Amino acid sequence: MIYQLDVHTEGQGLYDFTADVKAIVSRADIDEGLCTLFSRHTSASLIIQENADPSARCDLENWLNRLVTEGDSLYTHTTEGPDDMPAHIKSALTATSLSIPVVSGRLALGTWQGVYLWEHRHHGGLRQIVMHLGL
């Protein structure tokens, strides 16, 4: 079964969409299988991360922004602004797809794990995630 999830972003940051994924898994009536998520974008990524303490996500964002800076004179792909090439690099360094087992009809996430879209652009917008549930 294939689904599409829309995640609206307002700029750089991690956007939790765990509840949307869980709701689809619940309605799908699958006891065991695999949930695969795929981002249809090259300047955003997917991540499983702590969902309790927001400081962990903030530290991740700050660290990645220090690692991949804007305004590097070596960038040639600058047509869409100074955050475009760094966003592509961040996406390449992280993940554009995730696989999560479904066990007893539920995502097999740990207690403190959530599913996030990581927006790497400043302006944000509509991001599309393709979700596949299989046995």
Q: What is the pLDDT of residue 90?
A: 97
118 and 95 Cβ atoms separated by less than 8 Å: no
Average pLDDT on 9-28 reads 97
Mean pLDDT of all residues belonging to the chain: 96
DSSP-derived secondary structure for the chain: -EEEEEEEE-SSEEEE-HHHHHHHHHHHT-SSEEEEEEE--SSEEEEEEESS-HHHHHHHHHHHHHHS-S--TT----TT-TTHHHHHHHHHHS-SEEEEEEETTEE---TTEEEEEEE-SSS-EEEEEEEEEE-
Confidence of residue 24 (pLDDT cuts 50, 70, 90): very high
- Side chain identity at residue 33, one-letter code: G
Mean pLDDT of 29-46: 96
**Orientation of helix 84-93 relative to helix 54-67, angle to 10°:** 120
Q: What is the pLDDT of residue 124?
A: 86
Q: What is the mean pLDDT of residues 4-8?
A: 98
pLDDT band at 29 (very low <50, low <70, confident <90, very high): confident
Phi-psi region of 130 (alpha: psi -120 to 50; beta: other; left: phi over 0): beta
Domain that holds residue 7: 2-134
Q: Are strands 13-16 and 97-103 parallel, antiparallel or unpaired?
A: unpaired
Please give the tally of structural domains in the chain: 1
User: Could you tell me the pTM of the whole model?
Assistant: 0.94
From residue 74, give the alpha-carbon distance in Å to each of 10, 26, 71, 83: 28, 47, 9, 14
- Position 92 pLDDT exceeds 90: yes
Is the confidence at residue 135, as pLDDT, over 90?
A: no
Mean pLDDT confidence for 43-65:
96
**What pLDDT is stored for residue 22 in this prediction?**
97
Question: The CATH number of the domain where 28 resides is what?
Answer: 2.60.120.460
